[in-house]
Amino acid sequence: MDVLLDGKKLAESMQSELAERVAARLKAGKTPPGLATVLVGSDPASQVYVRTKRRTCEKLGMTSTHYDLPPTVSQSELLALIAKLNADSSVHGILVQLPLPSHIEESAVIRAIDPRKDVDAFHPENLGLLAAGHPRFKPCTPAGVIELLVRNDIDPAGQDVVIVGRSNIVGKPLALLLAQKWPGGNATVTIAHTRTRDLAAHTRRADIVIAAAGQAGCITADMVKAGAVVVDVGTNRGPDGKLVGDVDFAGVAPKVRAISPVPGGVGPMTITMLMFNTLLAAG
């Protein structure tokens, strides 16, 4: 492996640029960008994600307001909170941590967020703008993957990219970003999923493999070509409780040109792009 796609290091440098932009904004007499985070229930992984997002906000000089709701909260109570946050001018971005308990319809919650405050870019209006090539916000994880590539001098243009996973959060919007006619795009994209016939045949011919399946170790060395680039979006808990990706790092790394680790790859980039979107939403 020639290049470790070190998201932790890249995120630190991008975050210090963002902190300077926030400081300049405050100096100009504007209000700090404000992010409201909403967590329903007490899933430990979700608690960690929200805590990290809030800490990063504070580190960059942004404000963060947090709402902890019990797992029994009703959908209408959650929608009422979102309506309140939509109307609050000090809140520029609203983040409802997913997943939500099964009695709450996730798509109804996403649709209730004012699209101008939808810093996750999950709202259908924002997904539509992205598909049309005029995104208001770029979805955080997909945008983070592209920054990780481009800022390591890996231009997706003209490359055969295989994305493993087709979720609305990662696979699908990432394919849209990569296929658009703009810098960081212009790739030839294949989206693979559980109904793909012979996944390895697809990944083996790819110049860039992006794993977003949520299956620990599902991308092995025999599935990638020598000199390829591999980005691991997956975050899975191993039997020992440790965070592992979708890629068998030890097996794949010696064979490829560049690879991102888990942890320390896409995760910190996702948070950085969220901060970027919150600053953008503040105007």
Q: Which residues are catalytic?
A: 53, 97, 120
Candidate segments 12-20, 124-132, 209-217, 222-230, binder of ligand NDP by CB under 6 A: 209-217
At its nearest, how many Å lie between ligand NDP and the CB of residue 98?
8
What would the two tokens of residue 23 be? Answer: 């400081």
Does residue 167 interact with ligand NDP by CB under 6 A?
A: yes
Cα separation, 65 vs 89, whole angstroms? 13
Q: Sign (positive/negative) of CA torsion 93, 98, 101, 107?
A: positive
Residue 192, strand partner residues: 164
The CA distances from residue 185 to 7, 129, 131, 208, 260, in Å, are 20, 16, 13, 13, 19
The 67-106 site mask, x for binding ligand NDP (CB under 6 A), equals ----------------------------------------
Cα gap 58→132, rounded to integer Å: 34
Nearer to ligand NDP, 16 or 194 (CB): 194
Q: How far is the CB of 124 from ligand NDP (least distance, A)?
A: 17
Query: Minimum CB separation from ligand NDP for residue 137, in Å?
Result: 15
As a dihedral over the C-alpha atoms of residue 277, residue 7, residue 194, residue 223, rounded to 10 degrees, the angle is 150
CA dist 267 and 264 (Å) reads 6
Tell me the HSE value of 186 on the side-chain side, using a 13 A CA sphere.
10
The reply to whether 214 sits near ligand NDP by the rule CB under 6 A is yes
Map residues 118-157 to x or -, x wherever contact with ligand NDP holds by CB under 6 A.
-----------------------x----------------
- 215 lines the binding site for ligand NDP (CB under 6 A): yes
Structure tokens at 53: 């997002």
Closest approach of Cβ 136 to ligand NDP, in Å?
20
Contact between 173 and ligand NDP by CB under 6 A: the answer reads no
Query: Residues in the site for ligand NDP, rule: CB under 6 A?
Result: 141, 164-167, 169-171, 192-196, 199, 212-215, 218, 233-236, 266-267, 270
